[in-house]
Structure 1
């Protein structure tokens, strides 16, 4: 099949491209960075260089595709310390561009990488943009089949803990304790997407993806052991204290408020209510395996 992937060859895109090429699909990968062309072509795929904000480019690239895979990321919008950036608004624009491009190209099968929390219109913090884009894509005609993939938090998000561990000697958040929550490996997410691409499409479906279920204290123990800090603590501070810490270092205010609310929703369990109603079979990559990857990154910085 002819498959077009958005999102370049990042944490999910690279293993997904590799798997689809291995299965014999003709894969085109969209990237906004021309320097990514060689990386994409080395995987056996074709590179399409252009912007998610260019509807004509998207429409032309989607044309004749059997399936398009859509995703949007905060990183695609701008620098997290840009005070003027409107991350929610810009991603809504990308979602509307996707909708228009799918209609204009005539594509009838879509896989959309959404997220945990996309079932919520409020209380999910920065993840609200996933709810927005799902609703935008649902406005497509009924003959366009869409598979919404909702992974839980990526293990790779934990790389963001490295700076605080090195400067404060702790993981610091507005929630913690022994209550387990799900996490996902990009490799398991890519495997789930590849599975769904090869399965029949019908209507609008939702699939959650997770790899392991562990508590904050278990995360601190695993990461601490991996980096040679067996007593690494997970420290819980009030919402406002965390928010002010981010704002004081110049973090974009929309993101700071959004991440604070998202993490509070993780701690209350509100974020995971629909996940547990539709709990998936857990993937292969467990926290212990990721901890080795985390340690390599920690000691490299």
Structure 2
């Protein structure tokens, strides 16, 4: 198959590209970073370098593909002028235009848990708009929205307080948190990309469910900090902290709302009714990577 993936060689894109190439597929990797071209070629894929906000570039990148993987790349949460929701919505429209013009019939889109919600999900509202836009494509376009849960690597955001106070502060965590590894996401995406006749649907991806206390215990054991604890604090404390370190205020409030919705269960209501089999990568596996990054940064 000829498969085009967006997202460059990131946490999901790199293992996904390797998996698809190992399976014998012809893979084109879309990236906005010219310096990634050589790395993409080294993996055996074809680089397509350009601006995702250029729908003509996307159309050219998608042309001739049997299936495509769409995702909205991360942006800078500390950019004070960034309208994150508009950024998502804009790329969603560009993807829809390019899919139509390139006559693509199979799309696997990276969404998120909470992607079914129009409100109350904070920054995840952007993913909702992308889903809704892609769902307006003709019915002959088979779309699967991949909805991963909370990424393990979000835990990197707590490194400073782990070091300074031996604590993780969050406004959620008394209920099980559904964690996920990018490796398990890549596996699910690869499976969906190669199922051309799949109906439009949603697929959740999760690796392991753990409470905040259980999460802290596993990380603490790996780090050699046996007393590492997960402390649940107020929404205001989380929001104020994010703003104090320079995060865009709207994004800080959106992140806080997102995590609050995880605590109340709003974010996970649809996931709970459509829960998948857990993936293979557990927090004990990710903890080894966390330890390496923690030691390199401290």
> Please, what TM-score do these two structures have when normalized by structure 1?
0.96
Match of 1:226 among 208, 222, 225: 222
Measure the CA separation in 2 of the matches of 1:182 and 1:25.
32
Q: CA RMSD in A?
A: 1.1
Runs of 4+ in 1 over 4 A off after TM superposition: none
Alignment of structure 1 residues 95-114 onto 2, 5 Å: 95-114=92-111
Alignment of structure 1 residues 277-296 onto 2, 5 Å: 277-296=273-292
Measure the CA separation in 1 of the matches of 2:48 and 2:279.
31
> Which residue of 2 is the match for residue 31 of structure 1?
31
**Post-superposition CA distance 1:199-249 (Å, at most 9, x none):** 242431111000111110001101111111110111121111211111122
Measure the CA separation in 2 of the matches of 1:158 and 1:242.
15
Contact 1:142–1:203 (8 Å) recurs in 2: no
> Which residue of 2 is the match for residue 249 of structure 1?
245
Task: Give the drift of 1:18.
Answer: 0.2
Q: For 2:179, what is the secondary structure of its paired residue?
A: strand
> Which residue of 2 is the match for residue 181 of structure 1?
177
> Which residue of 1 is the match for residue 157 of structure 2?
160
Q: For 2:278, what is the secondary structure of its paired residue?
A: coil
> Which residue of 2 is the match for residue 15 of structure 1?
15
Measure the CA separation in 1 of the matches of 2:160 and 2:124.
23
2:83 pairs with 1:86: yes
Measure the CA separation in 1 of the matches of 2:58 and 2:158.
35
2:60 pairs with 1:63: no
Task: Give the drift of 1:73.
Answer: 3.0
Q: For 2:15, what is the secondary structure of its paired residue?
A: helix
Contact 1:74–1:87 (8 Å) recurs in 2: no
> Which residue of 1 is the match for residue 126 of structure 2?
129
Q: For 1:271, what is the secondary structure of its paired residue?
A: coil
> Which residue of 1 is the match for residue 231 of structure 2?
235
Match of 1:190 among 186, 190, 203: 186
Unaligned runs of 5+ in 2: none
Unaligned runs of 5+ in 1: none
Contact 2:179–2:206 (8 Å) recurs in 1: yes
Contact 2:239–2:256 (8 Å) recurs in 1: yes
> Which residue of 2 is the match for residue 213 of structure 1?
209
Measure the CA separation in 2 of the matches of 1:112 and 1:7.
11
Contact 1:184–1:209 (8 Å) recurs in 2: yes
Measure the CA separation in 2 of the matches of 1:235 and 1:152.
21
> Which residue of 2 is the match for residue 259 of structure 1?
255
Measure the CA separation in 2 of the matches of 1:157 and 1:175.
13
Count how many residue pairs are aligned between Structure 1 and Structure 2: 297
**Post-superposition CA distance 1:74-118 (Å, at most 9, x none):** 32xxx3212111111011111000000111111111110111000
